[in-house]
Amino acid sequence: MLIQIDFNSDEAIYIQLRNQIILGIATSRIQEGEALPSVRQLAENIGINMHTVNKAYAVLKQEGFVSIDRRRGAVVSIEADKRQALQEMKDELMVVLAKGCCKNISRQEVHELIDQIFQEYQV
């Protein structure tokens, strides 16, 4: 699993890690049922604190992307609550689209960008 962390970013490292794992799942680089590296192993590989990895895994569990198994650790396990996922997506998109509107980004440009991104996730 290839994780890229930008240590100069203003975004918290645990959020970057969370986002990288979600992107891995969406692009099928990480599969449903696959065990993620142990907290210790991933922390050592990336060069970050174990508590940071633990926090990222906890957020992923809370958001329904992983389950925690005593023997296997964090395992990709996507919950199927589509209604809740759509509401969460709507809440996040409202802010992202508002930012775009403030920067005069058109509806057409947004649709093209979404189509471009979705093509990356098609299996």
- Strand, helix or coil for residue 16: helix
Taking alpha carbons only, the member of 58, 59, 41 closest to residue 50 is 41
Please give the pLDDT value at position 85: 82
| E-strand stretches of the chain | 66-69, 73-76
Sketch the domain layout of the chain as residue ranges.
Answer: 13-76, 82-121
* Matching residue, tokens 């947004």: 110
Q: Specify whether domain 13-76 bears CATH 3.20.20.70.
A: no
- What pLDDT, in 10s, does the model give residues 84-108? 888 889 999 999 999 999 999 999 9
| Cβ proximity of 34 and 67 under 8 Å | no
Please give the pLDDT value at position 80: 63
What mean pLDDT comes out for the span 5-13?
96
- What pLDDT, in 10s, does the model give residues 45-96? 999 999 999 999 999 999 989 998 888 899 998 876 777 888 889 999 999 9
